[in-house]
Chain A
Amino acid sequence: QQQVKQSPQSLIVQKGGIPIINCAYENTAFDYFPWYQQFPGKGPALLIAIRPDVSEKKEGRFTISFNKSAKQFSLHIMDSQPGDSATYFCAASRNGANNLFFGTGTRLTVIP
């Protein structure tokens, strides 16, 4: 059973576009929601994370929007660049838990 559902599976945008990746969860005990970026041949790297006490968090061109009532969160990439082409994973965990539950990933391609 997938604890975190992620969509779309793949996404292609033009340079400068704003790709949006969505995730949904069911477990209301989750209180930490990170996004990871993975390049081919590399392990996932933490990109940005949010906790449910805020509705939005920005770090550079990356923004997480969080909707607690809908149990959804999303990643927006502003002014996307070809170098952003990678696979993006959302994840969630409970306070004090030792493991992350990952979404199935979104392969993003930014066309020059």
Chain B
Amino acid sequence: DSGVTQTPKHLITATGQRVTLRCSPRSGDLSVYWYQQSLDQGLQFLIQYYNGEERAKGNILERFSAQQFPDLHSELNLSSLELGDSALYFCASSVGTGNYGYTFGSGTRLTVV
């Protein structure tokens, strides 16, 4: 167990729907990162939050959004889902704002049908 908890583990939903993925970081970690892993693209950085504030943005679609709550857990919201959004979504956490010492969760597998 890495200490980073992601729920749910699996999610199947229809096109056009909206889903929320949840991440609880490792105890003591203030940064949360979201990554998307697809078969042909590898791991792509989506967004980072540090202590409740957005710190960095990657190739995150406008249909996607995220937030980090006062208890430091984070949620990734995906809306108007398309077939191409099917992927593994990973959350990682670290103590500070740099990326050294990432710890990844086990991911949420999203299938859009």
Contacts and interface: CB of A to CB of B under 8 A. Distances in A.
B56 interface: yes
Contact of A99 (B4, B58, B105): B58
B75 to A, nearest CB: 18
Interface string B68-98: 0000000000000000000000101000011
B29 to A, nearest CB: 14
Given A43-B2, A43-B104, A93-B99, A98 B43 contact: no
B101 interface: yes
A102 interface: yes
Interface size class of A (residues with CB under 8 A): 20 to 34
Interface of A: 2, 6, 32, 36, 41-46, 49, 89, 91, 93, 96-105
A44 B43 contact: yes
B31 to A, nearest CB: 8
Interface size class of B (residues with CB under 8 A): 20 to 34
A89 to B, nearest CB: 7
A98 B90 contact: no
Residue from A44, A96, A99, A102 having most chain B Cβ neighbours under 10 A:
A99
Given A43-B90, A45-B2, A98-B98, A89 B104 contact: no
Residue from A45, A93, A98, A102 having most chain B Cβ neighbours under 10 A:
A98
Contact of A98 (B99, B105, B107): B99
B106 A41 contact: yes
Given A43-B90, A43-B92, A45-B2, A97 B104 contact: no
Nearest to B96: A98
Contacts of B100: 32, 49
10 contacts: A2-B42, A36-B104, A43-B2, A46-B102, A91-B43, A99-B99, A100-B45, A101-B45, A102-B43, A104-B40
B104 A99 contact: no
A32 B94 CA distance: 16
Contact of B106 (A6, A43, A49): A43
Nearest to B46: A99
